[in-house]
Amino acid sequence: MASDRLATSTGTRPKDALAAYLSDLAVQLPGPRRRRDAILTELRDGLEQAMQDRIATGLPRDRAAAAAISQFGSPHAVADAFGGELTTAYARRTIVWFIVTGPLVGIWWLLLLHLSPWRTGLIALVAAIPVIPLIIAAIATAGGTLATTGRLMRWLPETGPRRALAATIAIAMLCMIIDLTMITMITVIMVSSAPTRPLMIIASAASLIRIVCSITIVQHAIRMRV
């Protein structure tokens, strides 16, 4: 953990105070671990610089450390301040995961159903896969959220952390409905079709894995919203 690494890098008492402060902060920061570690590393540098500046003005090391910590604010207040950024980072990372894994799951269903959208046309595709509108809704939500929490927010209205998290939950729920519908549909239609069984197993397994991941994501996102 970042806090462990930070604690072991200290030697003198003022540095212990900084490490204790950062350890306390590490426990309270939400969101992706890599982002939290980067924030803690950045704040440690800032704290040490603030301490060095005070030492340069003649303060003893322990009082300089205390003054630097006081300037940075309580770990709770700093964690609260970073909450929005970390929540947005979590939402963006999770949405990217859904975008990347979408085709990896979908390709098995296309192979199983012998569908070639470029040959059969869109209407035949929608008739064969009734979840197409849900897939479009999930893609639109994902694209919109990524755009309005990233570089395009310079021109588009910015999506706040709570709405980004709500969009993540919505995408996860849509994926669960899509996967459950496809599994149910294929079980009813193709359960006796022996030649397609291996593909059916792969497609269903891919969907089941994504359902489990989606449930975990929804639980995590709901905890972050509280």
Partner 1 sequence: MRPELLKGHLDALLLAVLEPGPQHGYAVIESLRSGSDGALDLPTGTVYPALHRLERAGLIASDWQTVGGRRRRAYHLTQAGHIALTEQRALWDQFSTAVTALLKRRTWPATA
Provide, rounded to whole angstroms, the least separation between the CB of residue 140 and partner 1. Answer: 21
Q: How far is the CB of 154 from partner 1 (least distance, A)?
A: 6
CA 207 to CA 81: how far, in whole Å? 37
Q: Which is nearer to partner 1, 22 or 218 (CB)?
A: 22
Complex with partner 1: residue 50 or 113, whichever CB lies closer: 50
Where along the sequence are the contacts to partner 1 (CB under 8 A)? 38-39, 41-46, 48-50, 53, 71-73, 77-78, 80-82, 84-85, 88, 149-151, 153-154
**Residue 3 and residue 75: Cα distance in Å, rounded?**
13
CB of 79 vs partner 1, minimal distance in Å: 9
Contacts of 181 (CB under 8 A, 6+ apart): 130, 131, 134
Q: Which is nearer to partner 1, 81 or 136 (CB)?
A: 81
Report the half-sphere exposure of 16 (CA within 13 A, side-chain side).
Answer: 4
Nearer to partner 1, 1 or 153 (CB): 153
CB of 56 vs partner 1, minimal distance in Å: 13
Give the nearer residue to partner 1 in terms of CB position, either 69 or 183.
Answer: 69
Name the region of 117 (left: φ>0; alpha: ψ -120 to 50; beta: rest).
alpha
Identity of the residue, 71 or 219, whose beta carbon is nearer to partner 1 in the bound complex: 71
Minimum CB–partner distance for residue 65 and partner 1 (Å): 14
Residue with tokens 């069984």: 197
Q: Shortest Cβ distance from residue 129 to partner 1 (Å)?
A: 35
**Which tokens sit at 42?**
């950045």
Measured CA to CA, the distance from residue 131 to residue 113 in angstroms comes to 14
Q: What is the DSSP letter of 131?
A: T
Which distant-in-sequence residues (6+ apart) come within 8 Å of 146 by Cβ? 92, 95, 96, 99
Query: Nearest-CA neighbor of 211 among 111, 105, 99?
Result: 105
